[in-house]
Chains A and B, each alone.
Chain A
Amino acid sequence: NAGVTQTPKFQVLKTGQSMTLQCAQDMNHNSMYWYRQDPGMGLRLIYYSASEGTTDKGEVPNGYNVSRLNKREFSLRLESAAPSQTSVYFCASSPKSTGGLDTIYFGEGSWLTVV
């Protein structure tokens, strides 16, 4: 049972390059999320998808785009990477689309460095 799988685990980008972080869950969850984790800042929500076919901005969406490709997959794209986007990125999922009372299941993280 893989849970939430993110790829790649590590990536170094040059300023201005683009890349996509991939995320897939095999738990048949409705909701999926992308967070970034920075020292002293905790986890901040970038985008989320309450259910298949919907996406919404979180706290820090600027510089990112997302695609909910199907129920399993939720990708995060950096169109023109900036050093400020150096961070650890976590994909997560939860069972239901409403209520917000569910346990959230996290992937192992993707370490991104922009030089």
Chain B
Amino acid sequence: AQSVAQPEDQVNVAEGNPLTVKCTYSVSGNPYLFWYVQYPNRGLQFLLKYITGDNLVKGSYGFEAEFNKSQTSFHLKKPSALVSDSALYFCAVRVVTSGGSYIPTFGRGTSLIVHP
């Protein structure tokens, strides 16, 4: 089955420290991977995506993600966390439906809490 997993429900980090939010995937064929962020009481916003090319993808708000094919991972990273980064983060992977359409499937989300 094609899916994405976020093994941590919550990540805690101190402001100024580096942060990592983990994501692993299982797909047949080439993986197309995404990260979205959700602030409280808001819809999801796109951060970045990996389609092909460089394994290090840069996105919005200083975030980046590293694609690792051998480990089937796509971890989200930021060198120096801000309190304002506190939010819910979703990893997503493109899957093919039984009808042949391509749609994103989301992980369960990881709550990032950045402490002052």
Contact = CB atoms under 8 A, between A and B. Distances in A.
Interface stretch (A13-21, A64-72, A79-87, A104-112): A104-112
Contact of B46 (A42, A50, A104): A104
A108 B105 contact: no
B84 to A, nearest CB: 19
Across the A-B interface, the 8 shortest Cβ-Cβ residue pairs? A100-B102, A106-B43, A42-B108, A100-B94, A43-B106, A103-B46, A106-B44, A42-B109
Contacts of B105: 45, 59
Contacts of A98: 101-102
B45 A106 contact: yes
Interface of A: 4, 33, 35, 40-45, 48, 50, 56, 58-59, 90, 92, 98-101, 103-109
Nearest to B97: A56
Given A48-B101, A48-B103, A101 B49 contact: yes
B102 A109 contact: no
B90 A43 contact: yes
A107 B43 contact: yes
Contact of B99 (A56, A92, A103, A105): A56
